[in-house]
Amino acid sequence: MYTIRIPKIIKFGKNALSETEYPRNSLVVTTAPPEVSSKWLAKMGIKDYLLFDKVEPEPSIETVQKVISEYKSKNLSAIIGLGGGSSQDVTKYAATELKIPKILIPTTFGTGSEMTTYCVLKFEGKKKLLQDERFLADMAVVDAFFLAGTPEAIIKNSVCDACAQATEGYDSKRGNEFTRSMCKAAFDVLYDAIIDDKPENYPYGSMLSGIGFGNASTTLGHALSYVFSNEGVPHGYSLSSCTTVAHRFNKSIFYEKFKEVVEKLKFDRLSLKIPFDKAADIVMTDKGHLDPNPIPVTKDDVIQLLQDITNGRL
C-alpha cells in the first residue's frame, strides 16, 4: 500500500495569487522587507491582516516561539507563509502548534516546500529536518508573479534544486508509480522551461517536483551536496555537480538531460576545503538520503565522486 500526502487545496497558474480569497484576520509571515512585501500584499488583495516580517534566513525554533507567544491571543483565522523556505517553515510549525490553518505562498521556487510535510528549523544552532503530516498546507498558492523580482542567481539555483529533487525522487527506493509519474512530469516541465527559456513554467514544475519527491525522498545527489553547503555553497548550486555525478553513478535515465540542464544554466566548478576522506565520512552518515538510493554506496564511491565533482569530471 502507498500513501500520498499533498495540501488540501492547490491554487496555481496565472492570477492564482490575486484571484485567491484569503481569510480575514490572518497573520502573514515573511522575510521580505516592507517595501517588497507591501507590493506582494497589494497584488494578493488581502484585507484585515497582521504582519510578522522578522523571520531570519534559516530560522530557529525561537522565532517560531516568538510568533506563537505574540499572536496566540489574537484569534487568528490562519497563518500565511509568504516567502521562501524560511517563511514557510516558520508558518508550518507555528500554525501546527496553534492548530489553525496554514496557507503557503512560495515566492522563490525550487524547494517545493509548499507541497511537502517537511519543515527545517534550527534547534540550538543546528539545522534539523522535521517531517510531520500536520505540516502540510491547508492551501498552497503557486504563481509565477514573484519571478520578476527575483535575482537571476537565486532563480538558477532554485530551478536546479527542483530538477535535482524531481530526478532523485524518481530514482528513490521510497517512490512508487504515483511519485514517479509526478517526478517525471516535473522534470519534463522544468527541462522544457530551461532549454526553451520559459522561466514562467518553473513554479509549476517545482510544484510537481514537491508532490513527487515529497512523497518519496531525494537520494545520493543531496547526500553529497551537504558537505558543500557546510562551506557556504548555495543548495541548488551544489546540486548542479552533485546530482549530475550521482545520476552517472546510479545509471539514472535522467543523467544526460540533467547534465544538459546544468550546462545551459552555467554553474562554476565546485571546490571543497575539507579533505575528501573526512567529507566522505560525513556523507556516509546521511542514511536518510543514502538508504533510498537505488544502488548501495560505499565510502570509496563517495571519495571518488567528490574527486570527480571538484575536478569537473561530470
Residues that bind Zn ion (CB under 5 A): 161
Let me know how long the chain is. Answer: 314
Per-position b or e across 136-173, b if 16+ CB within 10 A of its CB: bbebbbbbbbbbeebeeeebbbbbbbbbbbbbbbbbbe
Beta-carbon contacts of residue 140 (< 8 Å; ≥ 6 apart): 7, 9, 10, 11, 12, 103, 104, 105, 106, 114, 115, 207
Beta-carbon contacts of residue 289 (< 8 Å; ≥ 6 apart): 217, 218, 219, 220, 222, 223
Measure CA of the first residue to CA of the last residue in the chain; give whole Å: 37
Q: Which residues pair with 131 in a beta bridge?
A: 118
Q: Does residue 130 contact residue 17 with C-beta atoms inside 8 Å?
A: no
The nearest distance, CB 161 to Zn ion, in angstroms, is: 4
Q: Which is nearer to Zn ion, 17 or 164 (CB)?
A: 164
Helices (H) and strands (E) in the chain, counts: 13, 8
Q: Which is nearer to Zn ion, 161 or 171 (CB)?
A: 161
Burial of 31 (0-12, 13-18, 19+ CB in 10 A): buried
d(CA 232, CA 242) in angstroms, rounded, equals: 15
Cell 530551478 locates to: 159
What's 126's DSSP letter?
Answer: E
Long-range contacts of 148-152 (CB under 8 A, 24+ apart): 149/36, 149/39, 150/107, 150/108
Q: Does residue 260 contact residue 194 with C-beta atoms inside 8 Å?
A: no
